[in-house]
């Protein structure tokens, strides 16, 4: 099992929403009941969730042109639909894309010296493809905005969120490869929906499994599935760390015994009281006691070739 969190954090621009702001966004999303047309930015290796801010590096010239067009237009919303690819082909068609994605806002576009661009985007709400429209350059789609069925405000949901936050922090503390900034972010995110979606974004799951999380309409169901996965990971990390600790203690004990034996042998040599034949007999006796004669023979053949074993 791999680390459940992405080790290289992309959370430098995380907005820490309050719960009131979160609920306002959900209500606004739920009021969007008309089909809309939107430009599509297809991406690999990431599934973007609502409320989460992340960065993408784009090298595809068609997509670079599309993002320039959107970002430098006179429109204030600077909106694009993010869809994840099922494969790695350069210019995907409808069959190569998942049908549910996230409408997102372009916050910043940065040009890189090699001609690529880095774009900072923020997820707003989920959508479903109704129809893909092809033109000469870009993909455009008629979409159906998807509502988040329930805000996490009841007592059971609040307890669930607290449990998710607690176990996530425990996992981070047990895994030295996860950046400390992730711990800080988890502790300071007030928005329940952002917390759930931030964890989902940063979990080291397959794209297909992340996509399944995105497709949950009910936030509480998404939270329950995340909590289930976190529990499995925590038990795995706990067991892994326990095994490593036992092995490390065993190795430390063997090393201490080895160095102590070497020191005693050096003292005996100084005093003229050291005998290789005596050491050989002691080692052979120990080997028999531990049922490790075969291993002992190899050691003795290597170091005491004059003895018949």
Give per-residue pLDDT as tens, 282-300.
666 665 655 555 665 666 6
Measured CA to CA, the distance from residue 90 to residue 199 in angstroms comes to 29
168 within some domain: no
Q: The whole model's pTM is what?
A: 0.69
286 within some domain: no
Measured CA to CA, the distance from residue 225 to residue 216 in angstroms comes to 10
Closest to 119 measured CA to CA, from 81, 72, 71, 85: 71
Contact 122, 107 (CB under 8 A): yes
Contact 50, 11 (CB under 8 A): no
228 within some domain: no
Is residue 14 over pLDDT 50? no
Residues linked to residue 84 through DSSP beta bridges, in sequence order: 43
Q: How far is CA 245 from CA 59, 232, 237, 252, 265, in A?
A: 44, 20, 12, 10, 30
Closest to 213 measured CA to CA, from 233, 234, 189, 230: 230
pLDDT at 180: 73
Is residue 223 over pLDDT 90? yes
Cα angle value 43/49/51 (rounded, 5°): 125
C-alpha dihedral sign at 19, 21, 25, 28: positive
Is residue 32 over pLDDT 60? no
Contact 116, 57 (CB under 8 A): yes
Place of tokens 């009941």: 33
What's the mean per-residue pLDDT of the chain?
Answer: 79
Contact 46, 85 (CB under 8 A): no
Angle in degrees, 0-180, between the axes of helices 192-202 and 180-188, rounded to the nearest 10? 160
67 within some domain: yes
Is residue 21 over pLDDT 70? no
Q: How many domains are there within the chain?
A: 1
Q: What is the mean pLDDT of residues 67-85?
A: 89
Q: What is the mean pLDDT of residues 19-33?
A: 51
Number of Cβ atoms within 10 Å of the Cβ of 208: 11
Contact 171, 237 (CB under 8 A): yes
pLDDT at 1: 46
Element (H, E) at 120: strand 117-134
Structural domain for 53, as ranges: 19-145
290 within some domain: no
pLDDT interval class at 173 (50, 70, 90): confident
Contact 3, 178 (CB under 8 A): yes
DSSP string, 43-60: ESS----TT-EEEEEE--
CATH of the domain at 56: 2.30.130.40
Measured CA to CA, the distance from residue 142 to residue 129 in angstroms comes to 6
109 within some domain: yes
Pairing state between β 139-145 and 117-134 = antiparallel
Contacts (Cβ under 8 Å, ≥6 apart) of 26: 148, 151, 193
31 within some domain: yes
Measured CA to CA, the distance from residue 11 to residue 52 in angstroms comes to 9
215 within some domain: no
């Amino acid at each position: 099992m791999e680390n459940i969190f992405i080790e290289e954090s992309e959370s430098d621009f995380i907005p820490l929403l309050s719960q009131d702001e979160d609920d306002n966004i959900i209500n606004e999303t739920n009021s969007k009941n008309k089909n809309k047309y939107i430009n599509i930015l297809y991406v690999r290796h990431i599934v973007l969730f609502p409320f989460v801010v992340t960065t993408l590096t784009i090298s595809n010239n068609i997509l670079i042109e599309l993002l320039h067009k959107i970002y430098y237009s006179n429109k204030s919303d600077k909106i694009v639909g993010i869809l994840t690819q099922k494969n790695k082909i350069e210019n995907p068609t409808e069959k190569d894309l998942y049908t549910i994605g996230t409408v997102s806002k372009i916050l910043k576009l940065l040009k890189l010296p090699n001609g690529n661009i880095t774009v900072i985007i923020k997820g707003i709400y989920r959508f479903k493809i109704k129809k893909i429209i092809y033109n000469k350059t870009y993909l455009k789609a008629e979409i159906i905005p998807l509502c988040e069925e329930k805000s996490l405000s009841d007592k059971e949901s609040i307890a669930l969120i607290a449990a998710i936050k607690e176990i996530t922090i425990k996992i981070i503390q047990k895994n030295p490869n996860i950046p400390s900034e992730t711990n800080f972010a988890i502790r300071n995110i007030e928005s329940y929906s952002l917390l759930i979606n931030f964890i989902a974004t940063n979990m080291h799951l397959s794209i297909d499994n992340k996509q399944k999380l995105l497709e949950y309409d009910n936030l509480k169901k998404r939270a329950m599935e995340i909590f289930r996965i976190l529990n499995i990971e925590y038990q795995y990390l706990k067991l892994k760390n326990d095994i490593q600790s036992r092995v490390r203690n065993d190795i430390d004990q063997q090393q201490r015994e080895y160095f102590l034996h070497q020191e005693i042998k050096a003292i005996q040599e100084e005093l003229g009281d050291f005998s290789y034949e005596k050491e050989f007999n002691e080692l052979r006796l120990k080997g028999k006691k531990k049922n490790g004669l075969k291993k002992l023979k190899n050691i003795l053949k290597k170091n005491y070739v004059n003895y018949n074993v």
